[in-house]
Amino acid sequence: MCSLALFPPLPSGQTTLCESNNELLSGSSTTEELKQDLIPLSLSFPRESLKLHSRTESSSKAAFLDHSETLWMRSAAAWRDGGLTGLLNEVTTSHTEVPKWLSMTSGCILALLRWISSFHGSVFPHVTLSSEDMIAEFSQVLNWPDCVVRAFAWHPHTDKFAVALLDDSIKIYNPKSAIMPTLKHRLQKNVAAVQWKPLCASALAIACQNCLLVWHVDPCSLSTRPSSGCAQVLSHPGHAPVTSIAWSPSGSLLLSASPMDTAMMVWDVAAESCVLLQRVGGGGVTFLSWSPDGSHVLASTPSALFRVWETRMWTCERWPCINGRCQSGCWSPDGSRLLFTVQGETVIYALTFTGTPGVPSSSIKGPQAAAVVADLSETTFKTPDGDIIIGGEIQSVAWDPRGERLAVLLKGDPQAANQPAIIAVFKTRANPIFELLPCGFVQGEPGTEPRLMHFHPNFRHGALLTVCWSSGRITHVPFYFLSTSLPHAGLSGSPPLPHPQERPADFSTQSLFTELIS
């Protein structure tokens, strides 16, 4: 098992630039020419440049709503805004105008409803959170509310990407064109995730606070502000806020998940129809990840339970965890291995799905237990600036599309100055046995923290990790290596991969339980 103690020392005060010759190169911010050379498409969104909403709509409501309306009008407004609870609340509070028995009854019903919901909340504490807090809690982005770049997505086939910003706008960058479309929509609020549709040039799905949006951004269009008519709104009652979305790799289906809804939605986006996949238990669905071969989907819940769905007949395996909910997960390119992390633990687990990749079938049994493949517990590194503690809980994990580099975003400790959030990168090997080998740490400019990361889906010379920093900067860290699985023809200038010198990793088979239900 790999641990952080095996990692190379941390160069202090330097920005990681790339991996070359099997080591991570870093430089101070003065080496501009190297930066220009190696890092294309670096972007920066200073916080000051964004026009933020000074006040949310709900807070302005109290200031402007005319309270001298008749009871009927107020009741109707309350019904429209707050549903049954709002209506009951309105009736109860305006007890001077309604008959006593009515206000008494509605007060009793309201109390009963609150009691039930508090009971529900004590079983699933997350349902008491507000929408924004919930997105922040379950997002893959570190410290989501404060993040300038709230979501990021590379297009699966071309070099363009979409960036969701703090001001609820989405910008699309394409190095081949000077036009930079900005997407804004009335319903596009608190974007939790964005993802491009595979096998399509234009469709971009966005998980918003109240709905799902699918934008159709024509790549040939010259418009910089596509109208909101280009967006499809997909919503379902009770399915909000949407915290995670996943397109099927074949591009035909879109999955969406909300922590408030125990059902996971399978959308046929073109037809705007959805199928609910509901399973009792868990109290919601927080994070989705579709395996690259399309055969499985990881769906984690707010409780200590996650599910792995197979996508042919849409049945699932239940995986109860011991300590906490499944925070993040990623799939190997062939879909045979799932790495996931659990909240409250500092290790990475692996699940192996046997059978030929791409052949999900009910006869193939899933794995019986998850094995620990890496230990990321806190480790002290000595640097010229003093000791730095690295390790702890994991925010998200990402695996590059070739399955050779694994990036792990460590939460760090916001209170402690010497325990920053940082990205640890592992090399992964599938043959002869699956193992993780240390590669190094990716750090940004001094004083900035990584917030979210993504691998480029088809980088020719290895892997390209895109990191969004707390400063609003987006940088790209290339890892140049020769793929062990692909033929080496056509790649020149990349250094050969030397044999790893590390001692053989010892596998611990510390296991979790599993039940195979449905």
Chain residues binding another protein by CB under 8 A are: 155, 157-158, 199-202, 219-220, 250-253, 266, 268-273, 275-278, 311-315, 356, 358-360
Between 44 and 356, whose beta carbon lies closer to another protein?
Answer: 356
Between 99 and 229, whose beta carbon lies closer to another protein?
Answer: 229
Q: Which helix (H) or strand (E) holds 372?
A: strand 371-375
Alpha-carbon distance of 276 to 287, in angstroms, equals 16
Between 63 and 220, whose beta carbon lies closer to another protein?
Answer: 220
Alpha-carbon distance of 174 to 202, in angstroms, equals 12
Q: Which helix (H) or strand (E) holds 138?
A: helix 131-138
Alpha-carbon distance of 275 to 426, in angstroms, equals 38
- Rounded to a whole number of angstroms, the minimum distance from the CB of residue 257 to another protein is 15
How buried is 496 (Cβ within 10 angstroms: 0-12 exposed, 13-18 middle, 19+ buried)? exposed
Between 117 and 250, whose beta carbon lies closer to another protein?
Answer: 250
Alpha-carbon distance of 363 to 465, in angstroms, equals 37
Residues 341/362, Cβ–Cβ less than 8 Å: no
- Rounded to a whole number of angstroms, the minimum distance from the CB of residue 37 to another protein is 27
Between 311 and 466, whose beta carbon lies closer to another protein?
Answer: 311
- Rounded to a whole number of angstroms, the minimum distance from the CB of residue 18 to another protein is 27
Residues 158/201, Cβ–Cβ less than 8 Å: yes
- Rounded to a whole number of angstroms, the minimum distance from the CB of residue 364 to another protein is 12
- Beta-carbon contacts of 271 under 8 Å, excluding residues fewer than 6 positions away, are none
How buried is 319 (Cβ within 10 angstroms: 0-12 exposed, 13-18 middle, 19+ buried)? buried
Alpha-carbon distance of 265 to 254, in angstroms, equals 8
Residues 341/328, Cβ–Cβ less than 8 Å: yes
- Rounded to a whole number of angstroms, the minimum distance from the CB of residue 311 to another protein is 8
What is the DSSP code (8-state) at residue 111?
H
Residues 340/409, Cβ–Cβ less than 8 Å: no
Between 199 and 369, whose beta carbon lies closer to another protein?
Answer: 199
Report the sign of the C-alpha dihedral through residues 495, 8, 40, 452, in that order.
positive
Residue 327's closest CA among 345, 313, 309?
345
- Rounded to a whole number of angstroms, the minimum distance from the CB of residue 23 to another protein is 33
- Rounded to a whole number of angstroms, the minimum distance from the CB of residue 48 to another protein is 35
Q: Which residue is listed with tokens 């500092």?
A: 346
Between 206 and 274, whose beta carbon lies closer to another protein?
Answer: 274
Alpha-carbon distance of 291 to 29, in angstroms, equals 38
Between 105 and 158, whose beta carbon lies closer to another protein?
Answer: 158
- Rounded to a whole number of angstroms, the minimum distance from the CB of residue 381 to another protein is 43
Alpha-carbon distance of 319 to 488, in angstroms, equals 39
What is the DSSP code (8-state) at residue 87?
H
Between 178 and 433, whose beta carbon lies closer to another protein?
Answer: 178
- Rounded to a whole number of angstroms, the minimum distance from the CB of residue 301 to another protein is 18
Helix, strand or coil for residue 145? helix
Residue 190's closest CA among 265, 127, 258?
258
- Rounded to a whole number of angstroms, the minimum distance from the CB of residue 266 to another protein is 5
Between 144 and 267, whose beta carbon lies closer to another protein?
Answer: 267
Cis ω for the linkage preceding 432 (within 30 of 0): yes
Between 198 and 462, whose beta carbon lies closer to another protein?
Answer: 198
- Rounded to a whole number of angstroms, the minimum distance from the CB of residue 157 to another protein is 5
Helix ranges (DSSP H) in 347-500 = none
- Rounded to a whole number of angstroms, the minimum distance from the CB of residue 85 to another protein is 20
Alpha-carbon distance of 507 to 218, in angstroms, equals 49
* Amino acid, res. 132: E
- Rounded to a whole number of angstroms, the minimum distance from the CB of residue 147 to another protein is 29
Six-digit token string for 108: 């009793």
Between 41 and 77, whose beta carbon lies closer to another protein?
Answer: 41
- Beta-carbon contacts of 73 under 8 Å, excluding residues fewer than 6 positions away, are none
Between 37 and 218, whose beta carbon lies closer to another protein?
Answer: 218
Helix, strand or coil for residue 88? helix
Query: Would you put residue 13 in left (φ > 0), alpha (ψ -120 to 50) or beta?
Result: left
